[in-house]
A and B are shown apart, each in its own frame.
Chain A
Amino acid sequence: MIRVRWYKVISDLWSHRTRTLIVSLAVAVGVYAVGAIMATQTLMLREFHSDRNDAQLAEAILYTQPFDAELAERVQEEIPGVIAAEGRESLRARVPVDGETRYGIEIVAIDDFATMRVDSYPFIEGRWPDAKNEIMLEHMGLALLGVAIGDTITIELPDDTQKHFVVTGVMHDPTYPSPEITGFTTAAVTPAGMEYLGGLPLFTELRLRLDDAVVASQGAQGIVDAVQDRIEKSGRTVVGRTIIGKSIIESIVNTAVMILSFFGWIILLLSAFLVINTISALIAQQVNQIGIMKLVGAGRGEMVAMYLTLVLVYGILAFSIAIPLAVLTAQYLMTDLIAPLVNLRPESLALPWWLYAMMVAIGVLIPVLAGVLPVWQGTRITTYAALNELGMQTGTAAGGFFERMLARLPKRWLQRPLVLAVRNTLRHKGRLLRTMIVMILGTSLFIAVISVRVSVDTTQADFLRYHQYDVQVQFQEAHRIARLEQAALTVPGVVRVEARTFGSASRTRPDGVESNRYQVIGVPEGSTMIDPIVQAGRWLRPDDEYAVVINATVAQDEPDVQVGDTIVLKMNDRERTWQVVGIVGADAQGPKIFMNRTVFGYENRLPNRANSVQVLTETHDLLGQKTMESTLLRHFEKLGYAVLTTRTTQTLNSQNGLMFDIIVGFLILNAVLLGLVGSLGLSTTMGINMLERIREIGVLRAIGASNSAIRRIVLLEGLVIATLSWIIGFALSYPVAQVMSEQIGVALLDTPLSFTYALPAAIIWFFVLLLLAVAASLGPARNAVRLTIREVLAYE
């Protein structure tokens, strides 16, 4: 037998099961939101870092004339700050998977698979290649190409020769996200295999891992300079160098973490408000019982202990519901969304103990902390006030500013039920404020999240403004523009053709340091297939000569460069000064420098030549573009042009879309959680309002108010709260959405998203709120009108 006071606690929990469920759910939403978010974040970051650590990713690459493994060993031994240096040789080719489809493949030659120390592809299954016709595939490539270990694949080289390789095993290359995003997969062969593919059994890439401490003291540039000197001393020329910065995978992960952290705490805060409201209301309902307990000798400490125990049970119920759901959500997001998109191979889905402890702590702390103040205040009431339920009369009937304003309004403006509804709404201002904060934040963040989602779509559409064509064909070499265009125009269905020239350049900065290589695009003067989003300055004019337009990604990498500045670009081994005339938005395809095609041809010794055609066709849908892509491929190959790659803008768009998928997935998850908390907030407030006012309803009925009149008052009250919250939330949503859209864009793409406000979402949310208000009010209102007047007036 337990002490009788605990029977009261148990009975409070059991006999008010709906209330117990609502409060527990309110806490559970908070625990779930923070738990799922923290668990996802923890899993994602842990597995992301472990994945990358296992792969010992290169931090810098130098492109040079062919060298052997010995030079790499020398660099590693002699240059301070170089932890590991290894040679690699790579080439891009295609793998035909059926008559029409070919996937890109990046094949890397590795000297010794057993001792890889840089970009060391973690082994998954099978065995490393040994013979010249053996190949190891990236694990996602296996599915992409639809092959299994032991199968033979065909590699189609740029010169159209085909080589056959046996797949010996599967490894993991975390450098690139899903092949669905990149459009290609990676594979590893032996140097003999590279020779078999027509390459050299030597290396042209020196991949380096650097010592963090030395990087911190003298910078990566200094180490790379020393390596470059060492290579040049060996008589080789360094043709390019890249210090590897933030990858797109890191951008996605960081943005996802940012979104998750922000919303996790916001949702927790909202759910805390919800719990404070519910517990305050619970205490208000218990005032008479507090009076009785005081009457028979209960001290304040004893009552506080009883109520906090009650609240603690809500917390225990809440985390019991929330923890399994949060863990399952995190694991699902990891295995079904994050891992396949960013190409992660989670080693474990186990969550650390502290995460469970944190969820338990939050589950217990939210209700206890939220409950301490209302419980402390509720038990402070005098016995006299409690027994006479004077504690309930905390609102002002006529004294407040709003009430006075309401009283002054001409009677014909406001019907009696509306006046009563507004008055009731304003009666408990503290609770109204807390509920409204939940609903206002819920409303503004919900609209903002949907706006970011829409902005993502707009941004994707904006990316396509740089690709106002249907199919692009890139060639291994530059060809005469007139011939390329003529050849394309003979294909039925081709409406217009534009040849562009692609190349690369590095910037020689004022301090003499060379930047990473940027893609340079020679755009035909007066091009109609590019519709740039000019952020500063202007777009290229046909009469521009040594003028360039840089995109936002280059501007991010070269923060000192402004419109009107001159910069030195090293192209084709020659340095030349160019004037920056404009900065345009990024297109998620990396840093780009645009210049007129003529001057590009002149500077690269390729006058009137181009290495790509952009083709506009009659149909712009995916099927039409895909058909045209393969038609063009066959057509150009038949004419003897070596095709490097082909792609359609629909594919490009869906690849960009995939990159955003994780972010959009998280945004939607958060929108749902926010919607849930907002709905719960309104429902609980309305439910509690009704419980508190059952006596009042009895009085109204006793003086002749019909059931429908009472229902109308109750419904109007819900509608007033919902409308007020929506108006304020709506007003806040625009700036919130703008800031979020900018922050997410900068985190993901180094440039703000193309902001679009989701007005339809705001309107839909308004009606959702109204519906919720009606739904939340109907139940209690129905219960209240069902009771007889005698029951209502005797209600305890």
Chain B
Amino acid sequence: MSKGKSNEPLIVVKGLQKAYRTPAGDFYALKGIDLEIWPGEFVALLGRSGAGKSTLINMLTGIDRPTAGEIWIGGQAIHRMSEGKLTRWRGREVGVVFQSFQLMPMLTCAQNVMLPMDFANRYGTPRRQYARARELLAAVDIAMHADKLPAAVSGGQRQRVAIARALANDPTFLAADEPTGNLDSRTAEAVFSVFQQLVAAGKTIFMATHDRDLAARVSRVLHIEDGLIVEDTRPASPAEGYELVAQMEA
């Protein structure tokens, strides 16, 4: 990814629409989103179930394709990429974290982290990739579980593995879809602090969440309703953030 300069947005979304075919006709999950995200931002996307949060995350990560509109990330038009190119691009340039972790059950935590490196042919030999995977797992504080299967660790630990995997190829942009949705509040807090450290280290994070407390502590809050961004605010402090989030929810 061409690292966006601070005076240029990392992500530019123009007129983004996404329609799903249903027996009752086309259903528009996104109805025309315009958005710019700048490098180093920690963006929270708030909204009710079905508002379009996951759809927008899927569009920004190239997991799904828009019906209309443009998505530019790091200067690349991902709306024009083929499925194969998108996959390659995502593997190298984007880290994605899901509520349901999406780990490979038969691979150990370290091997899950190694998988993106393997497919991207990065970081040399499997031995070097393993060393890097351990470093990343140490960074999210679960190096001691590196050689265990995901089924042998807790939900919070699995999410940390998923975050370590998202960082495997050192992307500047991380997308997280309800990353704390399956976690208790203490674990959610721990995962959130990992995100904060990553932002502090220069990563850009786009996080869809239901959690008002977490959303209030990010640098920018977007509120989506019926497929449209209805509010876009940058709280100056957590206190202001709480207030803004409370207003959005109201």
Contacts and interface: CB of A to CB of B under 8 A. Distances in A.
A500 B124 CA distance: 95
Interface string B62-98: 1111000000000000000001101110111000101
Name the prevailing secondary structure of the B interface residues: helix
Contacts of B106: 7-8, 11-12, 15
Contact of B125 (A1, A11, A12, A302): A1
A383 B116 CA distance: 15
Interface residues of B, number: 36
B119 A7 contact: no
A297 interface: yes
Given A8-B107, A11-B107, A297 B90 contact: yes
A295 B98 CA distance: 11
A292 B102 contact: yes
B190 to A, nearest CB: 22
A1 B58 contact: no
A2 interface: yes
A383 B120 contact: no
B195 interface: no
B92 A7 contact: no
Nearest to B101: A292
Interface residues of A, number: 28
Nearest to A382: B83
Contacts of B64: 382-384
A296 interface: yes
Contacts of A383: 62-64, 83, 86-87, 90
A393 to B, nearest CB: 14
Contacts of A296: 90-91, 115-116, 119, 165, 168
Contacts of B129: 4
Given A4-B114, A4-B115, A384-B64, A291 B88 contact: no
Given A3-B126, A4-B126, A11-B106, A297 B83 contact: no
B95 to A, nearest CB: 9
A302 B120 CA distance: 11
B87 A299 contact: yes
B130 interface: yes
Nearest to A294: B87
Nearest to B90: A297
B111 interface: yes
A404 interface: no
B102 A4 contact: no
A387 interface: yes
B104 interface: yes
B63 A297 contact: no
Nearest to B130: A1
Interface of B: 58, 62-65, 83-84, 86-88, 90-92, 96, 98, 102-107, 111, 114-116, 118-120, 125-127, 129-130, 165, 168-169
Interface of A: 1-5, 7-8, 11-12, 15, 288-289, 291-300, 302, 382-384, 387, 796
27 contacts: A1-B126, A1-B127, A4-B115, A5-B115, A5-B119, A7-B107, A8-B115, A11-B106, A288-B102, A291-B102, A292-B102, A292-B103, A292-B104, A293-B115, A295-B90, A296-B115, A296-B119, A297-B87, A297-B88, A297-B91, A297-B116, A300-B84, A300-B87, A383-B87, A384-B64, A387-B98, A796-B105
